[in-house]
């Protein structure tokens, strides 16, 4: 079982530890955040919370049944009923369906709590795990793109409120 919690100030220590522990793992499939991300983490975290307060973004941490932070799922660039979905699941939780479940829960929350009607997501073609997570959650490819110099795809999912 997992829980998506809306990002709070008290998540900062666990989130920083999560990002540090998984830095090399994430860098295998997405561009590294760089050293500045880690040295300026406290300020960046405060900035994210301030941005979230405006409604322009909705940041979440993924917590397992032991209360451990194992991932994050973000809805950014909220506009006109749509947002871009991004997610990271730590190496220790990879391959166990966590990403699929977390994205599914984010889709539910996007409708129920934020009244969103669609989500977009992007990934590279050489990241089959991410593509599979999106497709399992009803996202469909809408266009080919270049992402950080690599071939990629943009996905979209229309959201429907539960009856």
Is residue 31's pLDDT more than 80? no
Please give the share of the chain, as a percent, with pLDDT higher than 90: 84
Residue 106 lies in a domain: yes
Instruction: Give the pLDDT band of residue 35 (cuts 50, 70, 90).
Output: confident
pLDDT tens digits for 41-59? 999 999 999 999 999 999 9
The mean pLDDT value for 86-96 works out to: 94
The mean pLDDT value for 121-135 works out to: 94
Instruction: Give the pLDDT band of residue 163 (cuts 50, 70, 90).
Output: low
Q: What is the pTM of this model?
A: 0.93
Residue 26 structural domain: 2-158
Residue 117 lies in a domain: yes
The mean pLDDT value for 25-37 works out to: 83
Instruction: Give the pLDDT band of residue 17 (cuts 50, 70, 90).
Output: very high
Instruction: Give the pLDDT band of residue 161 (cuts 50, 70, 90).
Output: confident
Q: Domain count for the chain, please give it.
A: 1
Residue 163 lies in a domain: no
- CATH number, domain containing residue 52: 3.40.630.30
State how far the Cα of 22 lies from the Cα of 47, in Å rounded to an integer: 22
Is residue 149's pLDDT more than 90? no
DSSP 28: T
């Amino acid at each position: 079982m997992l829980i998506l919690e809306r990002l709070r100030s008290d998540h900062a220590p666990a989130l920083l530890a999560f990002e540090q522990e998984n830095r090399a793992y994430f860098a295998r499939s997405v561009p590294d955040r760089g050293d500045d991300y880690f040295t300026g983490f406290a300020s960046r975290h405060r900035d994210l919370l301030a941005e979230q307060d405006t409604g322009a973004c909705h940041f979440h941490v993924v917590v397992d049944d032991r209360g451990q932070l194992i991932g994050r799922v973000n809805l950014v660039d909220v506009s006109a009923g749509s947002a871009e979905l991004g997610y990271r699941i730590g190496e220790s939780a990879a391959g166990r369906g966590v990403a699929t479940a977390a994205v599914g829960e984010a889709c539910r929350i996007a409708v129920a709590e934020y009244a969103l009607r669609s989500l977009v997501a992007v990934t590279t073609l050489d990241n089959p795990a991410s593509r599979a997570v999106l497709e399992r959650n009803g996202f469909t490819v809408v266009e080919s793109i270049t992402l950080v110099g690599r071939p990629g795809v943009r996905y979209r999912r229309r959201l429907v409120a539960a009856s």
